[in-house]
Amino acid sequence: MGDEMTVYLNGQFLPIAEAKISVLDRGFIFGDGVYEVIPVYSRRAFRLDEHLRRLDHSLSGIRLANPHSDAAWTQLLNELIARNTPEDQYLYLHITRGVAKRDHAFPNPPVAPTVFAMSSPLTTPPAALLASGISAITAPDNRWLRSDIKAISLLPNVLLRQMAIDAGCAETIMIRDDAFMTEGAASNIFVVKNGTLLAPPKDNLMLPGITYDVVLELAAANNIPHEVRKVMKNEIFGADELLLTSSTKEVLAITTLDGKPVGTGKPGAMFAKLYGLYQNFKREVMRA
């Protein structure tokens, strides 16, 4: 499939193999850029407005002007969806500060940003994984203090995720200052204790997940007890359930942590409830 993919690069739609950028691109040289991942169900972008709001937040966080209006983004992304074959896709958007002579300071005068978008087939977790849950490890959160920016410089996240893979696990839950949980290497994490869903606050130390927001909205709309507050390290280890959310993984149970079972060691009642609500919510979007 790979080579037939149509991507968007700086104003043009073209086969992925023909999409080329300069080695002087500041994304390549400095990791100077931001990105977004947007799921597409039945050819409809999920929560597009919310993803575009977050993109705006990331761009202003790195002091880069948004290259497109919301209307232009919407048109561009819908065209990208139409030019690719899968019904369910995920869109990857990537904007860098452009091509310039290597110098840490911003190019002066500014140069045009590099704007790239591609679509890949969306494969949500299979039934077996939903039934078993996944294994995770914990590790210190050694990232910078602007983890709310969806930055393309993902080296800590890459190393943290690989740490999980090397341990035969799927995700790493990060602990800040040896005290409280922030998020996963590429996901948000919820704790369940005595029937209450606990979520860390959307501050500068975690990515404000779009799936995270949907889960909290669903909890509120369905009278599921929930609290948004700092979640301490001991609360993860004493959890009845742990849940992971992301645009590509949706909602998953974490059933093993650092080699020990979480609660009963099986996906629990809160997972079943929220997973069901999430799938219903998705179906409403597809029908829209």
Residue 211 in the binding site for ligand PDD (CB under 6 A): yes
Q: Minimum CB separation from ligand PDD for residue 216, in Å?
A: 11
Q: Decide: 231 and 199 in contact? Cβ < 8 Å.
A: yes
Contact segment (CB under 6 A) with ligand PDD among 55-63, 79-87, 204-212, 277-285 equals 204-212
Residue 150 annotated among the catalytic residues of the structure: yes
Q: Which is nearer to ligand PDD, 33 or 99 (CB)?
A: 33
* d(C-alpha 177, C-alpha 185), whole Å: 16
Q: Could you say whether residue 114 binds ligand PDD (CB under 6 A)?
A: no
Give whichever of 58 and 187 is closer to ligand PDD, judged by the CB atom.
187
Residue 133 and residue 267 in contact, taking contact as beta carbons nearer than 8 Å:
yes
250-257/134-140 β-pairing: parallel
Number of residues interacting with ligand PDD: please give it, by CB under 6 A. 15
Considering only residues 15-54, where is the footprint of ligand PDD by CB under 6 A?
37
Interface pick for ligand PDD out of 96, 172, 188, 256 (rule CB under 6 A): 188
Check residue 14 for interaction with ligand PDD (CB under 6 A): no
Residue 171: strand pairing partners: 136
CA distance 22 to 18: 13
CA-nearest of 166, 138, 285, 124 to 214 is: 285
| Alpha helices for 133-268 (secondary structure H) | 155-166, 210-221, 233-237
Binding site for ligand PDD (CB under 6 A): 37, 157, 183, 186-188, 207, 209-212, 245-248
